[in-house]
Amino acid sequence: MSGHSKWATTKHKKAIIDSRRAKNFAKLIKGIEVAARNGGADISGNPTLFDAIAKAKKSSVPADNIDRAVKRGAGLESGGADWQTIMYEGYGPNGVALLIECLSDNRNRAASEVRVAVTRNGGNMADPGSVSYMFNRKGVIIVAKKSDINEDKILEHVLDVGAEEVNDLGESFEIVSEPSDLVAVRTALQGAGIDYESADTSFLPTLSIPLDADGATKVFALIDAIEELDDVQNVYGNFDVSDEVMATL
């Protein structure tokens, strides 16, 4: 069971109602623009766009904002930026490895702001490749727990279409697959009438570092500072926080 996944799931739920809602909206809109630019505006032929729109709707992004983002990304409306995906690598307190995923139209600005946020909050930047080998790119689907949904029911529908494992995160289940199997797994859930919270490609650690309350507090503060940056889309870390420590935080 991944402490990082539990933390990320909690953050996702809080993002809908907390003071950074507008920033969360902006990141979701940016993801829609990029998906539309890379695969076109037709969601039936662009599963990445389908999932990006579904995620935005789950976070209550207005439909008009979503529609305009699709049009900008696909070149059907002016105003779209040339977003570039940039990955930075670093270390946080307790030797926690970090992958920082940015979508930016200004590489110099993104690099400078990420470096400042990391170094001012107890971390340091790392050379390309020195951290990324500790992570595997995976498809990750989050399904909220309900009275009629349990692990056995999920496994029944997803094992034969590429799911590798189903993890119990407390209030939800995490389904892990290869990125190439993400759409098949998501489609199987839809066919079975099982609603899901999100379906994304993610970077999961191959080995996690356990953190005590002090270490977790420092790492969370660092990641919060990084996520405040406009260019940052996602932060991945190889840490694990137990239920007991999470309860104290």
> Which of 6-20, 130-144, 191-205 shows the lowest mean pLDDT across its residues?
6-20
Mean pLDDT of 24-47: 90
Residue 7: what pLDDT?
Answer: 58
The residue count for the chain: 249
pLDDT band at 1 (very low <50, low <70, confident <90, very high): very low
Instruction: Report which of 247, 240, 241, 233 is spatially closest to residue 88, judged by C-alpha positions.
Output: 233
- Position 4 pLDDT exceeds 60: no
Mean pLDDT of 89-109: 94
pLDDT band at 10 (very low <50, low <70, confident <90, very high): low
> Which of 60-69, 78-87, 180-189 shows the lowest mean pLDDT across its residues?
78-87
Residue 8: what pLDDT?
Answer: 60
Q: Which domains does the chain have, with CATH numbers?
A: 3-73 (1.10.10.200), 84-133+207-248 (3.30.70.980), 134-205 (3.30.70.980)
Q: How far apart are CA 91 and CA 208, in angstroms?
A: 13
- Position 52 pLDDT exceeds 80: yes
pLDDT band at 234 (very low <50, low <70, confident <90, very high): very high
SS3 letters across the chain: CCHHHHHHHHHHHHHCCCCCHHHHHHHHHHHHHHHHHHHCCCHHHCHHHHHHHHHHHHCCCCHHHHHHHHHHHCCCCCCCCCCEEEEEEEECHHHCEEEEEEEECCHHHHHHHHHHHHHCCCCEEECCCCCHHHEEEEEEEEEECECCECHHHHHHHHHHHCEEEEEECCCEEEEEECHHHHHHHHHHHHHCCCCCCEEEEEEEECCCEECCHHHHHHHHHHHHHHHCCCCEEEEEECEECCHHHHHHC
Mean pLDDT of 150-160: 89
Residue 70: what pLDDT?
Answer: 93
Residue 49: what pLDDT?
Answer: 92
Residue 126: what pLDDT?
Answer: 95
Mean pLDDT, rounded, of the chain: 87
pLDDT band at 60 (very low <50, low <70, confident <90, very high): confident
